[in-house]
Amino acid sequence: MGTWLILLRPKIISLKHRLRKREGRSLLKPLVLAGLAAAFWVFTFLAFKRVLFYFRGVELFGDLLASNLLFMILLTFFSILLFSNIISSLSTFFLAEDLNLILSRPVPPDRVFYGRLAETLTHSSWMVLLFGLPVFLAYGWVYKASLTYYIVLVCALIPFLIIPAALGTLFSIMMVNIFPARRTKDVLFLLSIFFAVILYFMLRFLQPERLANPDSFASLVEYLTDLEAPFTTFLPSSWAAEALLPFYQDHRSPVIFFLGLLWSTAGAGIVFANWLFRAKYFDGWTKAQEARKARITQMPLVERFIRLATFYLHPRVRALVVKDCKTFCRDAAQWSQLILLAALVVVYLYNFSVLPLSRSPLPTFFLQNLISFLNMGLAGFVLAAVSGRFVFPAVSLEGPAFWIIRSSPISLRSFLRSKFWTSLFPLLILAQVLIFWSNHLLQVTPFMMILSSVTLFFMTFGVASLGIGMGAIYPRFRVENAAQIPSGFGGVFFMVMSMFFVGAIVILEAWPVYTIFMAGFNHRALSLFEWTGIILSFASVAVLIGVVAIVPMRMGLKKLEEMDF
């Protein structure tokens, strides 16, 4: 292995400098991020603790449920790790910018291999490890596990993380020898999106809420028993689960044997990956350097459609819209996220179709309208989440090529407007489809249908302005991967602000809607006091939307104008 750690030194030193640079600067950013991470961590721990306590209380098959849950979680982690290791190893082994520097120096292949493997492992694993820990701690807490459990947990998790890293590296070296690296990355990115969508559908259509319904338990146990067989296969996730289960319940399995399986597989994985690296890495690296030619470069129909749809815009603004749409359609990393979005919409609407309204003790008519009102907020949150992915990064996506805009005779105001209009229309369509179909499934009153459609229509202007404005206030022009843009401080801050915005509108409309609804329900006229309150509430909503639709864009414009690029 030698001194491969030398190769990690620049990254560690860079991290140190970044942390040191932070001293004396505002603590807001790290505090908000740490607070959000801590909140998520605590929430996961408490949620799992509650679920596991519930399982413990279920007679006969509570333990089966808990152990199956563990198998499922570890299998999910393993799949996520495998995918993220493949994508990450493609970057670290073949696409990273510092490879030219390293490979032109007399660095032995072993050092390159171990250095890059360590980087791949760290990039892919830290998040799963961070958010997986509260789950394992919750298991330990609920089942009052001994100290040995925590030692075994560490001993099992280390090879559990190494195995997908070695497999991912093996796989990416093979793939790059067949396809160019950049193409491989696109294909894998697409596959991972499909994988996430399938997982999402699977989980949703399993209807986990049935756990709360005792009538369906018999069939569920049958289902879980059926599921037991595939878990005991030759998967490292099953070995890890087998090593941990004896600490939770009366489950006899040879812990040392399964730990041995995990460690020996991890060792073998590294040896094989290293062997393949020595044999085929340089061929693959050479191939990855070759420029690829474009496949589909002509999009006359798309272009004609966009130009037609934006005929009312100034030609300069239209040029930007056309450029953005083309880039979006050609970048697999961007358009493939639409698949996730489509899955989200289908599951969202599916949820409304399976709502057990008839079993509620409340009158169906009342409940339908209550849910419809809450749905307005939910659709707003979906809108905010989608904007976090597509609208907030719009300015940053100009990347280092932003100099072209800055040195062109187009004002930054027009530039931001083009981004706003490009984002607004798809968002409006999404919002109206969500609200119309969900209300249609709920069979709500015409009043609720109109109110929620109109509210969401104007809310979309606010969310789009917030996304573009905050994207301009916190731009990230020099990220290596576009997916990093929404995960930065600005992206998280945008999500928080847009949630506040949507929440505030729902709160402001709650009282007037309830008052109007109850007056209609009791067949009585509204009093003067009620009318005043209703007008004031809706006026506040209008003012709030107006402010949010204007102020962030102005602030973003000011920030961009003052920014040295």
Q: Is 26 in the site for another protein (CB under 8 A)?
A: no
Using the minimum distance from each CB to another protein, give the nearer residue, 280 or 287: 287
Q: Is 410 in the site for another protein (CB under 8 A)?
A: yes
Q: Is 331 in the site for another protein (CB under 8 A)?
A: yes
Using the minimum distance from each CB to another protein, give the nearer residue, 329 or 449: 329
Q: Is 271 in the site for another protein (CB under 8 A)?
A: no
Using the minimum distance from each CB to another protein, give the nearer residue, 213 or 411: 411
Q: Is 406 in the site for another protein (CB under 8 A)?
A: yes
Q: What is the DSSP string of 446-502?
A: HHHHHHHHHHHHHHHHHHHHHHHHHHHHS--TT-SSGGGSTTSHHHHHHHHHHHHHH
* Helix, coil or strand: residue 58: coil
Among 315, 356, 361, 446, binds another protein (CB under 8 A): 315
Q: What is the DSSP string of 198-239?
A: HHHHHHHHT-GGGGG-GGGHHHHHHHHHHHHHHHTSS-HHHH
Provide, rounded to whole angstroms, the least separation between the CB of residue 328 and another protein. 8
Using the minimum distance from each CB to another protein, give the nearer residue, 24 or 361: 24
Q: Is 291 in the site for another protein (CB under 8 A)?
A: yes
Q: Which stretch binds another protein (CB under 8 A): 6-14, 94-102, 188-196, 399-407?
A: 399-407
Q: Is 521 in the site for another protein (CB under 8 A)?
A: no
Among 42, 404, 518, 543, binds another protein (CB under 8 A): 404
Q: Is 419 in the site for another protein (CB under 8 A)?
A: no
Rounded distance, CA 181 to CA 175, Å? Answer: 8
Query: Binders of another protein among 470-489, rule CB under 8 A?
Result: none
Q: Is 409 in the site for another protein (CB under 8 A)?
A: yes
Q: For residue 57, count other CB atoms closer than 10 A to its CB.
A: 8
Q: What secondary structure letter does DSSP report for 314?
A: -
Among 297, 361, 525, 529, binds another protein (CB under 8 A): 297
Q: Which stretch binds another protein (CB under 8 A): 24-32, 65-73, 250-258, 310-318?
A: 310-318
How far is the CA of 72 from the CAs of 116, 119, 130, 293, 326, in angstroms?
A: 30, 27, 18, 42, 40
Cα angle 277-278-281, degrees, rounded to a multiple of 5: 50
Asked if 389 and 486 count as a contact pair (C-beta separation under 8 A), the reply is: yes
Q: Is 564 in the site for another protein (CB under 8 A)?
A: yes
How far is the CA of 39 from the CAs of 36, 43, 522, in angstroms?
A: 5, 6, 43
Q: What secondary structure letter does DSSP report for 357?
A: G
Q: End-to-end CA distance of the chain: give it in Å, rounded.
A: 43
Secondary structure element (H or E) that encloses residue 249, with its range: none
Among 327, 443, 484, 487, binds another protein (CB under 8 A): 327
Nearest Cα residue to 247 out of 133, 156, 139: 139
Using the minimum distance from each CB to another protein, give the nearer residue, 149 or 415: 415
Q: Is 400 in the site for another protein (CB under 8 A)?
A: yes
Among 316, 367, 370, 447, binds another protein (CB under 8 A): 316
Q: Is 11 in the site for another protein (CB under 8 A)?
A: no
Nearest Cα residue to 93 out of 261, 295, 286: 286
Using the minimum distance from each CB to another protein, give the nearer residue, 152 or 405: 405
Q: Is 229 in the site for another protein (CB under 8 A)?
A: no
Write the CB contacts of 379 (distance below 8 Å, at least 6 apart in sequence): 431, 434, 435, 438, 452, 456
Q: Which stretch binds another protein (CB under 8 A): 46-54, 222-230, 293-301, 537-545?
A: 293-301
How far is the CA of 203 from the CAs of 54, 190, 227, in angstroms?
A: 20, 20, 14
Q: Which stretch binds another protein (CB under 8 A): 115-123, 211-219, 327-335, 339-347?
A: 327-335
Asked if 427 and 385 count as a contact pair (C-beta separation under 8 A), the reply is: no
Q: How many residues bind another protein (CB under 8 A)?
A: 33
Q: Is 300 in the site for another protein (CB under 8 A)?
A: no
Among 399, 433, 484, 539, binds another protein (CB under 8 A): 399
Using the minimum distance from each CB to another protein, give the nearer residue, 119 or 324: 324
Q: Is 322 in the site for another protein (CB under 8 A)?
A: yes
Provide, rounded to whole angstroms, the least separation between the CB of residue 474 and another protein. 19
How far is the CA of 195 from the CAs of 192, 224, 232, 452, in angstroms?
A: 5, 22, 22, 34
Q: Is 106 in the site for another protein (CB under 8 A)?
A: no
- Tokens of residue 48, six digits: 């799992």
Among 229, 401, 525, 528, binds another protein (CB under 8 A): 401
Rounded distance, CA 414 to CA 397, Å? Answer: 17
- Tokens of residue 187, six digits: 């294909």
Provide, rounded to whole angstroms, the least separation between the CB of residue 297 and another protein. 5
Q: Is 330 in the site for another protein (CB under 8 A)?
A: yes
Which residues contribute to the site for another protein (CB under 8 A)?
A: 291-294, 297-298, 315-316, 318-320, 322-323, 326-327, 330-331, 399-401, 403-411, 561-562, 564-565
